[in-house]
Structure 1
């Protein structure tokens, strides 16, 4: 592994460990925010079942690739974006059990904390996203264009507003 790859892996690991939320862009559909854990050199996440985060519409196939963006926990800005290989862990296998033990500890507000592993094995997918290669450097600002909306925060100030404000001060 080259020095650049080693530094890329270290940056990805540090960012993913400190952040509880990633943005995942699959081959299909828009980006989606998902909670995750960093476990044994990869991002692990669970979803797809009732009461869990939705994974449908992202095109997450075993052996495919996705774009992962890790955000800052305190400021919410983008820390790092990388490409990852998707691997679906077979239910009740050794790797699945290790990943689920980590995920279970980070799962907030679980209704059935005692039976969560059984429900995940029955209904959900546990995915492992392994970083691929070095980090690409962005060629532009990566700023997204705001979604068109009829909502607005800027309108002309009503003509009577200055008089109303002066009356309140008296």
Structure 2
């Protein structure tokens, strides 16, 4: 077995584990989603009241995952994932939900959260398939939409003097 796939898997796991969120694109646009890394895959909770939306993540399809750096936000690694919904009540679902519950911030119903997730939400497993994807050329930033909005006018010429006076007064 080549060393490159092993290094790719290690890079995917470490980067995704340490990142607070991942950008996921299924059939629609990319979305920033919080997650946990468990048993070699990213796990998400969503599509329920008060939870993050998971549009475009269809069971059995693939998704592109981009992992940003936690401190700078720059793209660290991109990888293709197989999307799989976990069925409530299974051992895999219970394990994932136990970890997700510990990471869920500001839950309105912490005591009944897992029961609500079983009734109303989806737990999705994103399993890496293949190697990492090469970084694309350019920034991939979208062209801004045309608008009649404008930027503000330049600062008045006397403003720097006024601000400097305030600093002098507050410094004494």
Q: Secondary structure at the match of 1:133?
A: strand
Which residue of structure 2 aligns with residue 147 of structure 1? 144
How far residue 154 of structure 1 moved from its aligned partner, in angstroms, is 6.8
Residue by residue over 1:130-150, the C-alpha shift from the partner in whole angstroms, topping out at 9 and shown as x without a partner, is: 001011213412431342253
Counterpart-to-counterpart distance in 2, 1:87 and 1:66? 10
**Number of equivalenced pairs:** 163
Kindly indicate whether residue 79 of structure 2 is the aligned counterpart of residue 82 of structure 1.
yes
- Distance in 1, matches of 2:120 and 2:22, equals 22
Partner in structure 2 of residue 97 of structure 1? 94
SS of the residue corresponding to residue 80 of structure 1 reads strand
List alignment gaps of at least 5 residues for structure 1. none
User: Aligned to 1:121, what secondary structure does the other structure show?
Assistant: helix
Pair 16,152 (structure 1): closer, same or farther in 2 beyond 3 Å = farther
2:59 pairs with 1:50: no
Structure 2 unpaired stretches of 5+: 166-172
Q: Secondary structure at the match of 2:12?
A: helix
Partner of 2:15: 15
- Counterpart of 2:6 in structure 1 is 6
What residue in structure 2 maps to residue 115 of structure 1? 112
Contact 2:41/2:128, CA 8 A, preserved across alignment: yes
